[in-house]
Amino acid sequence: MGQESTFRCLECDRSFNGDQSHCPFDNTELVAVKQDELIGKVFADRYQIIESVGRGGMSVVYRAQHKYIDRVVAIKLLHRHLVDDSNSVKRFQREARAASSLTHQNIISVYDFGVSAEGDAFIVMDYLEGRALDAMLDQGGPLPEHEAIDIIRQVCKGLIHAHKKGIIHRDLKPANLMLTVDEDDSVLVRIVDFGIAKVQGTEDRASQHLTRTGQVFGSPLYMSPEQWCGKSADARSDIYSLGCLMYELLSGAPPFCGKDAIETMSMHLDEKPLSFKEFNPDVTVSDRMEALVLRCLEKKPDKRFRTVADLLHEIPEKVSAPVVTQDQTVAVRLVDLLGTTPTDSSVKTGQPTTMKRRSRFILTYEKQAKLSTAILLILLAFVWIYQGPHEDPGSPGAKMIWQLELSVGETLMTAGAFSLAAPILELANWHAEHLDFILKRPNYEKRFQSMTRLASCYQLAGKNSDFERVLAKYTALDRERWEVLAHKYIRDIKSAEAYIKELRDKGESIQGHLTEPRLNLAPSVKVVVELARRLDANYSYELEYQLLFRMEQVVEKLYGPNFVGLAELKNQRASCLKRQDRIDVIENADPERGADGLYGSIKAIYEVNLRENLNLKPEESITLEQTSKNPGYIRSILSLGQWQRANGKLEEAERNIKLALEAAKKNGEFEPDELAEFYTSYANVLERLGRAEESRHCTDAARCHRQDSARALGMPYIEHRH
């Protein structure tokens, strides 16, 4: 006879045998699962396993019956794949020790712990006919204050007992609070899961190591700020978690809930919880109770209650209960989840034991209208008040108007109606200039688009003076854009310099902070070099020089004198100096590197990096093959040769330019235009050395490469003859 199929309810985690398709308790569709091999067997020689009642990442819980005393118990079994993990077993053992030392009606009782003959670690505890508090909240939302207080007071009493024993729970949350219906139909709360509990004052070194593995323990929605920071937790940490739990009981949701654990952590560390009215206008919480909850949620432990006993003393024992329907009470919700009939005579005989599940926030037609109006107002505010990201400033509404004007202007241009298109494009150009009417940030990209269309319109219409006017504004705006960006980078560089000084004053190593945003400047080197080229093209030489020189200084402090990014910065600075004819600065820029000034320094940096990458010994030379693999090094050799040629060092120039040319040809990835420059430079130095025939051959080779480049562009080659 084959083994019976087992079906599991994913809502309540109960298992069933037979042919039913839906859970009889919550009507959730059942899914077929593999039969658990322990069901029906005797475990640890004395416990008859009846069914699986829950499972998690570390353990599975079974309902079982003691063979000799007919007692129904819950057995928590560590997953077998974790038995070989000593830390998992130690935490499991610590839970058993912590819970077994506690004897209180609001804390689950543990009777046994051990390792079976098959090597399974287990804990035996009370079996509770109840459900976790999180299931209650999911079913019916927030509780009225008088019922929430009853649960909170029971949790406080259980915690007081645990804290007196020196045990901090550290993972208080609704899922770790079991609710059962007592004999008098009152709700009894039991605290469970002491898996990450901390026993104060008794942790040895091994236990401390166990606790610090992973650094942070708890559930993100309920963890105290000190837990997030990996600091030691005491009773006040449990008070913070209890405050989160109290907030959820009264409002319907935890006080802090980000889109992920990192955002939730940030909210616990930095944000203040909303008042209950701000969070959920539909709930009613007394001022006294709200003050208690908010005090529990203080970021600094010293501002919270000193002990849970102090908190319990402040919580009122009785609160007048509002008029509620019979199916609103916690007891009835719990009975509904358990699928049993209450004995309380206040519940009418024959009343259905399953009630319709309710949304936490029921929307009436009036509320829907208010919500729709609020959403509409928010959308309108977004369209006109939100001023867009830094990369594309301007409100969505202003951008739509601008786009419409631009599209209409382009359509009229296509139709040849230039006189009609021009004023519309002028208006679009004005709107592009004023897109961000609150923060006044310029939107350069949209302004350039507007000016390009407007200039094209005037050109096609034959209005040359207007065309030149717009073109002049375009040129000035282009210069402004790069200068604004340069000033932004200079501010970042100054900030890095100030931070470096601050670290040095403290005696701290700079290298230990290189990954911090203020000092992580390596990725910005290429951006700064490219920005400097834009400034160079706009004749903004002094700003370009300031940017490059300051960047060089701070980058050298951070990464050392041989950082390859320095070579790129120095090379662009040399170009800036040449454009200004400041030859003396180039010659004297780096006297410690040799007699060839800035260009010698650039080649030296590339050479040091290449030798390090190749692991060359000091006596080993760099071969042509190795040189050809590094385009930056090849370029630095050419630039040095050109500089030496300009300074009359012709023999040295000939050696370097020839080496650069041979390496570039061997590299095979230089464009024809680039190779033409190498050949032309070599031809020039050969001519000055009196080697006319060799110079002519190089000139012809340079011409061939320029012809190849023109051919690739689909254009005729333009020959210039002396």
The residues annotated with a catalytic role in the active site are 171
Q: For residue 249, which of 138, 356, 157, 363 has the smallest C-alpha distance?
A: 138
Q: What are phi and psi of 324, to 5 degrees?
A: -130, 155
434: left (phi over 0), alpha (psi -120 to 50) or beta: alpha
45: left (phi over 0), alpha (psi -120 to 50) or beta: left
Strand ranges in 471-516 using DSSP code E only, listed in sequence order: none
Chain position carrying tokens 């050969």: 686
Output b/e per residue, 317-351; b: 16+ Cβ within 10 A: eebeeeeeeebbbbbbbbbbbbeeebeeeebeeee
* C-alpha span between 681 and 599 (Å, rounded): 16
Which DSSP letter does residue 717 get?
P
Secondary structure of residue 108 in the 3-state scheme: coil
Q: For residue 294, which of 282, 281, 309, 279 has the smallest C-alpha distance?
A: 279
Q: Residue 32: which H helix or E strand, with range?
A: strand 30-33
What DSSP assignment string belongs to 254-279?
A: -S---SSHHHHHHHHHHPPPPPHHHH
Q: For residue 460, which of 409, 416, 412 has the smallest C-alpha distance?
A: 416
Burial of 632 (0-12, 13-18, 19+ CB in 10 A): middle
What DSSP assignment string belongs to 560-611?
A: -TT-HHHHHHHHHHHHHHHHTT-HHHHHTS-GGG-TTHHHHHHHHHHHHHHH
Beta-bridged to residue 121, according to DSSP, are 115
Which DSSP letter does residue 713 get?
H
What is the spatial order of strands in the sheet that 121-126 belongs to? 42-43, 47-55, 59-66, 72-78, 121-126, 110-115
* C-alpha span between 569 and 684 (Å, rounded): 27
* C-alpha span between 447 and 205 (Å, rounded): 66
Q: Are 648 and 671 in contact (CB under 8 A)?
A: no
What is the spatial order of strands in the sheet that 15-17 belongs to? 15-17, 6-9, 30-33
- Quick one: CA dihedral 292, 293, 298, 301, positive or negative? positive
